[in-house]
Amino acid sequence: MAACGDEAALAPGGDTTIEDRTSQAYRLPAPNLDADALALHLDGDVAFEATFVTAPAPVNGGLGPVYNHTSCIGCHARDGRGLPQIGTGPTSQSLVRVSLAEGTPAVPGGAVPVPGVGAQLQDHAIFGAALEGTPTLSWTDVDGAYGDGAAYQLRAPQLAIAWSEEPEGAVMTSLRQPPPVFGLGLLEAIDEPTLTALADPDDRDGDGISGRVNYVWDAQLGRAMPGRFGLKANTPTLRQQAAAAYVNDMGVTNPMFPEDDGAIEIDAARLDATAFYTATLAVPARAAANAAANRGEQLFDQFRCTGCHVPTLVTGDSPIAAVAHQTIQPFTDLLVHDMGDGLADGRPDFGADGREWRTSPLWGIGLAETVLVGARYLHDGRARTLDEAILWHGGEAEAARERFRRASSSDRAALVAFLMTL
């Protein structure tokens, strides 16, 4: 609980915190970078904004042949979340992960790729190339009621894919809305013992919340490491996250994921700058809290939202000095949890099964609508409001959700008021 005067709570990124409550709040460099680090960050800023085009080109060649978007910011506008828009044309921002239930995974423990497609549907292509398929997204209403009888309506996504070539076998799909990219260096700097100490895979403490580390393949080390990034924590490092996004989202080969013959379209310096950029974006300071928000923060703990959305963590050693040994308030445990049938995608991703999702960091979530008009929440953007996002929680979070659903309208509003200060 962040009492008045608790500076750590008001500075959720530790020394990387920036005082900004505007649309720029996710895209600012950590204020504690030294001159060399800032210079590398700014190189990464340029790389993150770069639009790729069909090679050969004097600038930014290498797009495709198949891809989801042409730039990083094309999906992470202002370094924040994207919209749940998918399909033909440049406004498509979400993507669909795909895999088969049976077969040989691409890397040990990973998803089984769909032949001819891989583990991600590339729904765009450069001129003359064949895209893999065209997804369409529609929504169905789901009715519900609060404990006090007030009705609410949620919406669930319905995804359909028109394949360019119908794949053999049953394809499992998972729709993903782009998440924000700030504060990630801090999450990378949380050491493994901290994560394993938070995990409780067999729920030995009997609180109904287990929480597991998703051990995933580290392409650089060639072994399994704790997953931290991605909505199912399927990626261990920011360098691998950036490299995978280049090759899969934009079709840009790179030193970690080159062409079969070793050819690359961006060099290591550019890849490293992009990864460094996402590692060193500042975390926005919390907004001033009124009485309702302060009460909401107490309720957030009383409802045991904090069982997974762990308020405070301490980072360990890091090659990036600015993110090392910081007391932070990400409101995540970086673990994967069973979130119930309603949110299940039925598509395992390394150790995360078809019902498990990584606890999303909540820092900065109160700025979502400031950064992105029409911002949506949860892994696929189904939730139009924070209330809806809470109401979708199930599985290990069902008890906490029920405390919220059955709470008075003023308590519910207080809890959301607290979230809006983050």
Partner 1 sequence: MRYSIALALSLSLAACGSDGGTVADFDDAALVADFADQVAVPTYALLDQRAAALEAAAVALEAAPSATTLEAAKAAWVATRSPWEQNEAFLFGPVSSFGYDPAMDSWPVNTNDLEAVLAAPDELTAAYIHNLPDSQKGFHTIEYLLWGEGQAREAEDLTARELTYLTGLSRELHATTTALAASWTTSVDGRTPYRDVFATAGETGNTAYPSRTAAVQELLGGMAAICDEVANGKIADPYDAHDPNLVESQYSYNSLVDFQDNLRSVRNAYTGAVADAGTSGRGLAAWVAERDPALDTRVRAEIQTAIDALAAIPAPFRDAIKDPTAYAKIEAAQAAIRTLQQTIEGDLTATVLP
* Nearer of residues 216 and 282 to partner 1, judged by Cβ: 282
CA 76/CA 73 separation, integer angstroms: 4
* Closest to partner 1 by CB, 19 or 192: 19
Say whether residue 412 binds partner 1 (CB under 8 A). no
Stretch of 125-133, 148-156, 253-261, 337-345 lying at the interface with partner 1 (CB under 8 A): 125-133
**Cβ proximity of 40 and 195 under 8 Å:** no
Cβ 41 to partner 1 shortest distance, Å: 9
Beta strands in 223-382 (DSSP E): 223-226, 283-284, 313-314, 327-328, 336-338, 356-358
* Binding region for partner 1 (CB under 8 A) out of 54-62, 150-158, 177-185, 254-262: 54-62
Binding track, positions 13-32, relative to partner 1; x by CB under 8 A: -----xxxxxxx--xxx-x-
Quick check: 97 and 389 in contact, CB under 8 A? no
Options 168-176, 214-222, 223-231, 370-378: segment touching partner 1 (CB under 8 A): 370-378
Q: Is 389 in the site for partner 1 (CB under 8 A)?
A: no
Nearest-approach distance from CB 298 to partner 1, in angstroms: 14
Binding of partner 1 at residue 373 (CB under 8 A)?
Answer: yes
Q: How far is CA 47 from CA 57, 126, 207, 272, in A?
A: 16, 20, 45, 10
Of 13, 14, 44, 74, the residue at the interface with partner 1 (CB under 8 A) is 74
Supply 11's token pair.
């500075």
- Name the minimum Å distance from CB 355 to partner 1: 31
Tokens 């673990």 appear where?
335
Stretch that binds partner 1, among 75-83, 139-147, 160-168, 202-210 (CB under 8 A): 75-83
Distance between CA atoms of residues 107 and 70, nearest Å: 26
* Residue with smaller CB distance to partner 1, 119 or 186: 186
Sheet strands (E) in 79-189: 95-100, 124-125, 133-145, 151-163, 171-176
Please tell me the count of residues contacting partner 1 according to CB under 8 A.
59
Site stretch for partner 1 (CB under 8 A), options 144-152, 201-209, 299-307, 364-372: 364-372
- Of 136-195, binders to partner 1 (CB under 8 A) are none
Between residue 266 and residue 295, which ones bind partner 1 under the rule CB under 8 A? 282, 285-291
For position 330 contacting partner 1 by CB under 8 A, the verdict is: no
Taking CB under 8 A as the criterion, the residue among 47, 77, 114, 250 binding partner 1 is 77
The CB-of-10 to partner 1 minimum distance in angstroms stands at 5
CB atoms within 10 A of CB 144: 13
The one among 16, 60, 177, 359 contacting partner 1 by CB under 8 A: 60
CA 86, 250, 351, 134 torsion: positive or negative?
positive
CB 201 within 8 A of CB 211: yes
Burial of 381-408, coded b for 16+ CB within 10 Å and e otherwise, reads bbbbebbbbbbbbbbbbbebbebbbebe
User: Cα(154)–Cα(384) distance, rounded to whole angstroms?
Assistant: 8
CA distance 82 to 407: 31
Query: Tokens 């949506």 appear where?
Result: 376
Q: Which stretch binds partner 1 (CB under 8 A): 59-67, 135-143, 229-237, 262-270?
A: 59-67
CA triple 362-80-142, angle to 5 deg: 65
Q: Which residues bind partner 1 (CB under 8 A)?
A: 3-5, 7, 10-11, 18-24, 27-29, 31, 38, 42, 45-46, 51, 53-60, 63, 70-71, 74, 77-78, 83, 88-91, 124, 126-128, 282, 285-291, 369-370, 372-374, 420
